[in-house]
A = this chain, B = another copy of it.
Amino acid sequence: MAEGPNEMSSYDNHYIAVDWGTSRMKAYLCEFNDDLCVTILDEVTCAGVQKKRGEFAQTFLRATAEWRLKYGALSVLMAGQIASSIGWRESPYVACPVAPADIIEASISFSCEQHDIFMLPGLSCQLANGHFDVMRSEDVQVLGWLQAEPSHRQGRYLICLPGTHTKWVLVNNGIIEVFKTAMTGELYDLLSTSSVLIQSAAVDFDQNCFDEGAQYTISSVSGSLIHGLFSVRTKQLFEGMDANQASSYLSGLLIGSDVRAAVNAQEWDISVLNGIVVVGEDHISRLFQQILQSQIAQVSLYAGKLASVQGFAAIRQRQLVSQVF
């Protein structure tokens, strides 16, 4: 019988990595070369957990059908909200501080049409004020950044991961110590589409208006966000901003507020870090970098997709051959 969709794969160097979040699922078909460097052979995206409730197996199988035809049922690594209580299977939360190896060991596994699926756990931590925090899948990007250079695993780094929720992650000698979540991206989406502040969708980014918003919140006294948001409307009434410019101004207000809170967080001392790194998509990462650099020294960038793929690769390597971290 020919190799087909229901056959285990003999392609040991191939696997599928899936970052399946609330709003989007990104799947990568990956291959290791002889040096254990990873190549992305193909990738697909589709709607996230929120849009596909209860149709997860079907969604996964449809998205990866071509790969299965060619390679059989490859092993799969999955992370994100897909592993939460509203996802396909629920994996546990592992409490920080955690080493990368602890994350891998807390994975759950199950089969789907002969695919071995490894669902990574979430991470939890307790903040200085006693509140808990959680993340799912951003830690894979942190792992990807950690394994990129031996120097990343020595010293204290603050990793900023912009997104629907910004995650600020403190790593110390390769251990994820603690992290904080800000609702920045979600607030932007809600306020720019469903509030009185802005009446029409943004079409372009306006750097000057972004700077004006960021400058306001980054340099403000406490409490400026809840009292400052309304300026998004009054700048359109009295200062000639159009709705498009107001969207960039709002983005600046929110990111400025987020960065200000991170710079002043009780969980770390920003002045005694070995580095600050923004891991994410290029445009949004540069905005965070710009505001961070207005407050502190050099901030570096690291591509979010690269970090994600490298993080999954490091986990897969550990499964296959030896200890990577």
Task: Mark A residues whose CB is within 8 Å of B.
Answer: 22, 93, 124, 129, 131-134, 165, 180-184, 186-187, 190-191, 194-197, 216, 220-231, 233-235, 237-239, 254, 257-258, 260-262, 264-266
How many chain copies does the complex carry?
2
29 A/B residue pairs, CB under 8 Å, sorted by A: A124-B238, A132-B231, A132-B238, A132-B239, A133-B230, A133-B234, A134-B233, A181-B227, A182-B226, A182-B227, A183-B197, A183-B226, A186-B196, A187-B226, A221-B222, A221-B264, A221-B266, A222-B222, A222-B223, A222-B260, A222-B261, A223-B225, A223-B260, A223-B261, A223-B262, A224-B261, A225-B225, A225-B226, A226-B261
Tell me the bound Cα distance from A135 to B260 in angstroms: 29
Q: Distance in Å from the Cβ of A23 to the closest Cβ of chain B?
A: 10
Q: Are B182 and A190 in contact (CB under 8 A)?
A: no
Tell me the bound Cα distance from A251 to B191 in angstroms: 17
Tell me the bound Cα distance from A229 to B187 in angstroms: 10
Q: Distance in Å from the Cβ of A168 to the closest Cβ of chain B?
A: 8
Cβ-closest chain B residue relative to A199: B86
Kindly list the 10 A-B residue pairs having the minimum CB-CB distance in the complex, ordered from nearest: A223-B261, A222-B222, A181-B230, A132-B234, A131-B231, A132-B238, A227-B261, A190-B190, A183-B229, A226-B257
Q: Are B22 and A196 in contact (CB under 8 A)?
A: yes
Tell me the bound Cα distance from A93 to B237 in angstroms: 10
Contacts of A129 in B (CB 8 A): 216, 220
Contacts of A220 in B (CB 8 A): 129, 222
Contacts of A191 in B (CB 8 A): 190
Tell me the bound Cα distance from A262 to B220 in angstroms: 14
